[in-house]
């Protein structure tokens, strides 16, 4: 993974030494269970744990050197452990196959990665709620198709993001449970040479559930759903990042990323303050989503097992989780320090001469007995004059001067439809739904 977009806790999960330590624990727990069943001597398991208790360093280079000869990573690891432990190590891997080690290890790694990602989302949710409550009643313009629509509040924008990431958290919790399964079932998954109780023992020790039917590998639909979930979370990151990028445009400038002392925006133009962090998040989201398709294609393996999925997962396991971990942390930082400009929001809200209140007048006319078609025509013809004047004209004044409109509504009734507070009356209801 690119160090620029990596954080140490997540990166550590995928380091070679960490992987080999998980492999050892799988083998040692399995040997322990076999000893309890009387299949191997108890002293074999004791020897493994005794060596482990010395907290030995894993010589990754030595294992790699053995693999260069054997062309098989699990055999290279077992050979190296046997050199350290001695004769009792011959009882390791009894009745097991390489996928038992590899798939169970991957399950442990993905579960650990999930725990960090869930914590990342929790941190983001805290910030989003705080900023949403801060701007609960800060009026701003809502846009559809990028065009002014009707008033909302900036707090509602952030409450929406909070609700979305709360859903993502639930999805990730479910995906973690789905992918955290253990398979110690031997060649083609029949348990012919190893008791299913060994699998149950290893699963319990590693905090995993038992895979009901593993063929010789854990079915990759589980992994596909996991990486698809990461892709959805990445898309939510991009959605919020794009919102900030749009709001930071010079013509809008309702909010912007924090610009720290000494920061430079351009090598050529000293005035520049660019949304570089959220642009970066858009790019990182593309990368995480890019790992979803290979995960989906991994589902279709030949018969009980092939290894076409293996090379894919060596990429996407570390890269997707490391990238998403970094992106979530970066987004949390952006939202924590986001600079918000309520006065600019108010200015933009009022920019188009009151057009944002057109629907209320339309509805009032229909309730006063005017057909919907005529009501729409009356409001639109005045609204277009305001639009074409770039907001220099006032919709309120034009409507009050339109005899067809005043035949149905009094000036006071028209003015009543231009009350901004009307649009905010259900903010508390929405906040209660989101935050409880």
Q: Within 10 Å of residue 407's Cβ, how many Cβ atoms?
A: 11
The strand pairing partners of 182, in sequence order, are 210
Per the annotation, the verdict on 135 as an active-site residue is no
Contact 132, 339 (CB under 8 A): no
Contact 223, 43 (CB under 8 A): no
Reading the block at residue 138, the tokens are 């800060």
Catalytic pick from 266, 308, 311, 410? 266
How far apart are the C-alpha atoms of 364 and 370, rounded to whole Å?
Answer: 9
Q: Within 10 Å of residue 400's Cβ, how many Cβ atoms?
A: 17
How far apart are the C-alpha atoms of 112 and 19, rounded to whole Å?
Answer: 12
The number of residues making up the chain comes to: 436
3-state secondary structure of 255: strand
Catalytic pick from 145, 260, 271, 403? 145
Per the annotation, the verdict on 394 as an active-site residue is no
What is the separation of C-alpha 192 from the centre of its chain, rounded to a whole number of angstroms? 41
- φ, ψ dihedrals at 38, nearest 5°: 80, 15
Q: Which residues have C-beta within 8 Å of that of residue 413, sequence separation ≥ 6?
A: 364
| Local structure of residue 220 (DSSP, 8 states) | T
174 half-sphere exposure, CB direction, 13 A CA radius: 10
Catalytic residues: 145, 266
């Amino acid at each position: 993974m690119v160090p620029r977009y990596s954080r140490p806790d997540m990166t550590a999960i995928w380091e070679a030494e960490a992987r080999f330590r998980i492999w050892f624990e799988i083998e040692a727990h399995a040997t322990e269970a076999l000893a309890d069943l009387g299949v191997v001597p108890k002293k074999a398991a004791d020897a493994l744990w005794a060596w482990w208790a010395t907290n030995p360093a894993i010589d990754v280079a030595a294992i790699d050197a053995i693999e260069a000869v054997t062309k098989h990573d699990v055999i290279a690891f077992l050979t190296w452990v046997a050199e350290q432990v001695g004769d009792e190590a011959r009882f390791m891997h009894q009745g097991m196959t390489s996928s038992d080690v590899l798939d169970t290890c991957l399950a442990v790694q993905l579960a650990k990665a999930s725990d960090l990602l869930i914590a990342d989302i929790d941190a983001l949710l805290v910030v989003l709620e705080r900023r949403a409550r801060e701007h609960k009643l800060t009026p701003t313009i809502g846009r559809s198709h990028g065009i002014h629509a009707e008033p909302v509040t900036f707090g509602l924008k952030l409450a929406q993001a909070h609700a979305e990431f709360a859903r993502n958290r639930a999805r990730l919790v479910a995906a973690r449970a789905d992918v955290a399964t253990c398979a110690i079932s031997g060649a083609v998954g029949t348990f012919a040479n190893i008791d299913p109780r060994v699998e149950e023992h290893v699963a319990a020790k590693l905090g995993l559930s038992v895979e009901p039917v593993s063929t010789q590998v854990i079915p990759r639909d589980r992994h596909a759903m996991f990486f698809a979930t990461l892709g959805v979370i990445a898309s939510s990151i991009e959605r919020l990042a794009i919102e900030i990028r749009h709001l930071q445009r010079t013509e809008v400038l309702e909010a912007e990323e924090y610009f720290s002392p000494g920061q430079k925006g351009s090598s050529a133009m000293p005035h520049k303050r660019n949304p570089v962090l959220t642009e970066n998040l858009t790019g990182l989201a593309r990368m995480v989503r890019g790992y979803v398709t290979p995960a989906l294609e991994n589902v279709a393996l030949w018969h009980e097992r092939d290894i076409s999925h293996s090379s894919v997962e060596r990429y996407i396991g570390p890269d997707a989780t490391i990238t998403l971990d970094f992106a979530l942390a970066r987004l949390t930082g952006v939202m924590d320090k986001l600079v918000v400009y309520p006065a600019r929001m108010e200015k933009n809200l009022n920019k188009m001469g009151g057009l944002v209140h057109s629907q209320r007048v339309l509805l009032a006319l229909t309730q006063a007995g005017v057909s919907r078609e005529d009501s729409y025509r009356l409001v639109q013809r005045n609204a277009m004059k305001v639009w074409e004047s770039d907001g220099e004209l006032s919709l309120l004044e034009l409507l009050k001067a339109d005899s067809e409109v005043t035949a149905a509504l009094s000036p006071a009734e028209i003015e009543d439809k231009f009350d901004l507070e009307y649009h905010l009356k259900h903010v508390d209801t929405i906040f209660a739904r989101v935050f409880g």
